[in-house]
Amino acid sequence: MKPLEKGTKAPDFSLKVTPDQTVCLSDFLGRPVILAFYPADFSPVCGDEMSLYNEILPEFKKYNAELLGISVDNVWSHLAFAKEKNLHFPILSDFNPKGEVSKLYNAYNEKDGVSERALYVVDRKGKIAWGYISPIGINPGADGILEALEGIKQ
Amino acid sequence: MSLTVPVGEIDHIQGKENAPVTLVEYGDFECPYCLEARSVIETVKRTEGDKLKFVFRNFPLSQVHLHALHAAYAAEAAAKQGKFWGMHDLLFDNQPAFEDGDLTTYAQNLGLDMQQFTEDMKSEEIAKKVKDDFLSGVKSGVNGTPTFFINGVHFNQPSEAEFLQEAIESAAKN
């Protein structure tokens, strides 16, 4: 599957981040947003990827960028995962209807019923600045994200 | 994926300056896989001898390994007194005993000037060195620890001696 094209409008969404709070992409208009879709909480590779981004958070903040992790796990799983990994950014639950937002971003694996390992950087105006879909077993690192953020720096 | 910041004066380097192969590790002293990789590195250092130059850069995953950052500071603080590799070895030998008291003991064992060591552990210069290492890794696509680069190229295979040896042999021929 190919990522959404650069320059197209990033589909808006509203997803739960805790049992009673939702986050919308449009909440962040005016700031770059990094969307990190990943297959599942608590699988060793994802833990690594989210832990890596957690570590790099201060760099993302230099670009005033917001990082949002997204998987199809439910909010309770997310809360436990965030606690165990000491994550300092929101992870959103694409749980019901399952994978709806992941599908909008060409980031849903129908066969396994999980999000792909996909990355997007959305610019201040809500347009796709960069997208990348990684082989599911490979942690894509953060060099692509940082390059994209550098590219849309004002 | 390749190394964005070339090996230079700021690096900790073991081996001959003109060795044909440079192996760079991005590592975390508290990471169990880095500890496993260490014996592999010791093996290839022995087998490859003068062909190999080894460089260690810090990539502490401080949110997962709560003592990794201080351990990295201890290694860099020891480096200020010419004992980076001594501290590097002590840290891996004693993983995961990295409370501040443990780090002090290791510094004493290395015969460091303790006042200097204590000051350096808190210095901005040391914190910056560790952060610069980390960021150079991020920009080179490092996605976890340990990550290796052989002559600047990401080594994308399991870090077992046979794979590493083979890759080093082939890099030495080119």
What is the per-residue pLDDT across B71-105, written as a single tens digit (0 to 9) for each?
999 999 999 999 999 999 999 999 999 999 999 99
Residues of B with Cβ-Cβ distance to A56 under 8 angstroms: 138
CATH architecture of residue range(s) A14-151 = 3-Layer(aba) Sandwich (3.40)
Core vs surface per residue A92-130: b (16+ CB within 10 A) or e: bbbbeeebebbeebbbbbeeeebbbbbbbbbbbebebbb
Catalytic residues of A: 46
Structural domains of chain B, with CATH: 12-173 (3.40.30.10)
pLDDT of residue B173: 82
Cβ-based contacts of B143 with chain A (< 8 Å): 48-49, 52, 139-142
Determine the residue of chain A that is closest to B136 in CA distance.
A143
Q: Is B143 on the interface with A (CB under 8 A)?
A: yes
Note whether A56 contacts B: Cβ–Cβ < 8 A. Answer: yes
How high is the pLDDT of residue A46?
Answer: 52
B1/A141 CB distance under 8 A: yes
> Residue B169: its pLDDT value, please?
83
Task: Report the C-alpha gap between B174 and B170 in whole angstroms.
Answer: 7
Closest CA of chain B from A97, distance in Å: 31
The pTM of this model reads 0.89
How close B143 comes to chain A (CA, Å)? 4
Chain B closest-CA separation from residue A32 CA (Å): 19
Between the CA of residue B156 and those of A17, A92, A119, A138, what are the distances in Å? 35, 31, 21, 11
Tokens of A104: 């909008």
Judged by CB atoms closer than 8 Å, whether chains meet at B143 and A146 is answered as: no
Which two tokens mark A112? Answer: 């396994």
Q: How many CA atoms lie within 13 A of B156 on its CB side?
A: 8
Handedness of CA B60, B62, A144, A61 (dihedral sign): negative
Q: In chain B, where does DSSP find H-type helix?
A: 32-48, 68-79, 84-94, 100-109, 114-121, 124-139, 161-173
| Positions in chain B short of pLDDT 70 | 159
Nearest CA in chain A to B139: A143
Q: Are A68 and A89 in contact (CB under 8 A)?
A: yes
Closest CA to B98 of B13, B28, B25: B28
In a mutational test of the B interface, the residue from A38, A43, A48, A52 whose CB has the highest number of chain B CBs within 10 Å is: A52
Position B1 scores a pLDDT of 77
Tokens representing A56?
């790099």
Phi first, then psi, for residue A11 (nearest 5°) are: -60, 130
- Which chain A residues have a beta carbon less than 8 Å from that of B64? 51, 85-86
Q: Is the peptide bond before B96 cis (omega within 30 degrees of 0)?
A: yes
* pLDDT lower than 50: segments of chain A: none
CA distances from A61 to A31, A32, B36, B39 (A): 10, 10, 34, 38
Return the pLDDT at B165: 83
Reference B131, options B44, B64, B73; nearest CA is B73
Which residues, including other chains, have CB under 8 Å from residue B94's CB and lie 6 or more apart?
B102, B106
